[in-house]
Amino acid sequence: MNARSLLVSCCLVASMTGCRTAPKKLPEPPAEAQAPMPINVALRLEAATPEGQRPVGSEERLANGARFALQVNVTEGAYVYLGQVAPDGAPTLVFPAEGADHHLYPGGDFRIPVDGLAWLQLGPRDGREDFFLYASREPLAAEKVLAMLKDDAAKARPAPPPPEKKKKKKARKARKGAKVAGEPAPAPAPEARPPTLVNPQGTTVEGKVDLTVVHFVLNHGK
């Protein structure tokens, strides 16, 4: 075989080898990341009344100084905080106490207060008290919880009506015995009601990725 024939044979072999090269695999599209689900919280309210212990619902009217407790259930591990807003608007972090364990686990009810003989208590004067329960995947500083508490209470409570402007009296001349026809008094505006964010069974309606907020209202009076 001469040099020319050898060169042709090598070219044919190289060409056939290139034809059998496997096609390049196209890159697969990246999988869509699934957004984490909000923490589901079930909340039940129980009041200690003269008739015995019974469940109560949001916005139910209780007696002044009534005692009650919460039963909390979470679907995953969460740090839980309970804030209270008094009738005068003062916020208080009710739970947890400083240094207390407040990381809840799924699988059962958790009572607030933890001590089965202790109870939360409403104020001694007529009014409305707002409670906010926060369930977070990460621990929160007490200052942050109080800031959220003030903000949420301002959104949930109805704004006070604006003060009425005094109208100047206009002198009217009328003959003795004549009646002055006046405009009919406007119908009173309906009383503003705060949104009910939790039903008697404790269904959460406001959930975020890392934080779930449950709001309930307890009215009390004589």
Note the pLDDT tens digit of each residue in 33-59. 666 677 888 888 899 888 888 888 777
- Asked if 156 and 109 count as a contact pair (C-beta separation under 8 A), the reply is no
Long-range contacts of 136-141 (CB under 8 A, 24+ apart): 136/39, 136/78, 136/79, 136/80, 136/81, 136/210, 136/211, 136/212, 137/39, 137/76, 137/77, 137/78, 137/79, 137/210, 137/211, 138/79, 138/210, 139/79, 139/103, 140/79, 140/81
Q: Is 216 a domain residue?
A: yes
pLDDT band per the 50, 70, 90 thresholds, residue 146: very high
What is the domain count for the chain? 1
Range of the domain at 151: 41-157+200-221
Q: What is the CATH number of the domain that holds 124?
A: 2.70.50
Radius of gyration of the chain (CA): 34
Length of the chain: 222
Q: Is 128 a domain residue?
A: yes
Q: Is 27 a domain residue?
A: no
Q: Is 166 a domain residue?
A: no
Q: Is 10 a domain residue?
A: no
Q: Is 172 a domain residue?
A: no
pTM of the prediction?
0.65
Computed over every residue of the chain, the mean pLDDT equals 74
List helix spans (H) across the chain. 3-19, 142-156
Q: What phi and psi values does residue 91 have, to the nearest 5 degrees?
A: -90, 145
CA dist 49 and 61 (Å) reads 12
Amino acid at the residue 144? K
Q: Is 1 a domain residue?
A: no
Q: Is 17 a domain residue?
A: no
For the segment 77-108, what is each residue's pLDDT rounded down to a tens digit?
999 999 999 888 889 999 998 888 899 999 88
CA dist 148 and 23 (Å) reads 58
